[in-house]
Amino acid sequence: MTATAPPARRTTGTVRTRGGFSVRVDRRAALVVLLLAGSALAAGIVLIGSGDYPMPPADVVATLSGNGTPAQEFIVQDVRLPRILVGLLVGVSLGIGGAVFQSVTRNPLGSPDVIGFGQGATAGALMVIALFHGGTAAVAGGAVVGALVTGAGIYLLARKRGVHGYRLVLVGIGVAAVLTAANHYLVTKASLIDATRAVLWMTGSLDGRGWSELWPLLAVCAVLIPLTLGHGRPLRMLEMGDDAAYALGVPVERTRIVLLGAAVLLVAAATAAAGPISFVALGAPRLARALTRSTGPQPGASAVMGAVLLLVADWTATNAFGDRQLPVGVVTGVLGGGYLLWLLGTERKAGRV
């Protein structure tokens, strides 16, 4: 008598709305999103309490509730809270942007910081710094314009009988190499003061970020994140290939332009707020898929995973090296190098490289 395997447990459920519509919910993915959101919230509270004026988590929560001392109110509300909120939104934006790019290109290397968009934002910011000596707002605007121009250029160069992921990645890597050389040239041509500003900005950091950096990023996220999440089903269809998406009724070209445009703007806004931060857009979607065990894109899980990664990296940068506080971009860069080596090993084991 042979043993019979138990039936597979259902991981999806159906939620019915008042209008009679039904929505399929992946229970595991929903649980992962809730756990990651809780982790991001906990990491934010710990970070708010870290620094030269340490505060236990209970005091941080009390201060956020309006029950802190005047000194605690100043430290939390005026200094640390906007910095943490900027970090959360930057991580969310990079996570969603990475998920969209990897799904559209159907390539784990299809990340904004690999295929040129981060370098384009950096080029725009450096031009403002080195050539026009612009202030903070002008640098942020230059980063957004640089990312948009780069995105349009890559899309047009890769658009030959339709945009294919492999071609988009190759064109993006080539454009990234050219822009990296141009960025180094801009730094060498800048004055000493402007070159110092440029190098600090290129590192990627949350230091000194306040409410003035938060509000524009929040406005962009409030518009584009719901738009991207609302295209979750077409995004899954695009990952199956253009022919399959056409057969399922998806307007492929229009959907691709909308999703890529939203992803480029999210990455540009994040870069304008904190500088170019590597690895988060590259690693968050892959880690989210591993946790949700999903074969399709998970933009929601990627968003909260990006927030967790950035806040954990920021805590590491500010607390793990004693009195030496590092920019968060340094820590994410090291993580990104290790991640690429791991990805290469897994792809080799799978026989794809």
- In this model, does residue 86 exceed pLDDT 80? yes
Q: What token pair was written down for 299?
A: 């933009």
Q: What whole-number distance in Å separates Cα of residue 149 and Cα of residue 142?
A: 10
Structural domain contains residue 23: no
For 47-64, letters b (16+ CB in 10 Å) and e give: bbbbeeeebeeebbebbb
Name the residue range of residue 328's domain: 28-46+68-347
What pLDDT is attached to residue 247? Answer: 86
Structural domain contains residue 129: yes
- Strands (E) across 233-306 are located at none
Least confident of 15-19, 64-68, 115-119, 220-224: 15-19
Structural domain contains residue 57: no
pLDDT (average), residues 193-206: 90
What pLDDT is attached to residue 7? Answer: 42
CATH classification of the domain holding 203 = 1.10.3470.10
Structural domain contains residue 60: no
Q: What DSSP state is assigned to residue 74?
A: I
pLDDT (average), residues 71-94: 93
Structural domain contains residue 4: no
pLDDT (average), residues 240-262: 86
- DSSP for 334-346, written as a single string: HHHHHHHHHHHHH
Structural domain contains residue 58: no
Structural domain contains residue 278: yes
Q: What percent of the chain has pLDDT over 70?
A: 90
**pTM score, two decimals?**
0.87
The closest alpha carbon to 276, from 349, 327, 324, 326, belongs to: 327
What pLDDT is attached to residue 2? Answer: 41
- In this model, does residue 79 exceed pLDDT 70? yes
pLDDT (average), residues 86-105: 93
Query: Side-chain half-sphere of 24: how many Cα atoms within 13 Å?
Result: 6
Chain centroid, CA 240 distance in Å: 23
Structural domain contains residue 21: no
For tokens 């056409």, the residue is 246
pLDDT in tens, 6-63: 444 445 555 454 444 344 567 888 899 999 999 999 999 999 998 888 899 999 999 9
User: Which pLDDT band holds residue 338 (cuts at 50, 70, 90)?
Assistant: confident
pLDDT in tens, 273-305: 999 998 899 899 989 988 988 877 789 999 999
Q: What token pair was written down for 96?
A: 């969603």
What pLDDT is attached to residue 89? Answer: 96
Whether 281 and 121 have beta carbons less than 8 Å apart is answered as no
| Count of domains observed in the chain | 1
- In this model, does residue 4 exceed pLDDT 80? no
Q: Which DSSP helix (H) or strand (E) runs through 128? A: helix 117-132
Average pLDDT of the chain, as a whole number = 85
Q: What whole-number distance in Å separates Cα of residue 159 and Cα of residue 145?
A: 21
pLDDT in tens, 149-176: 998 998 888 876 666 667 888 889 999 9
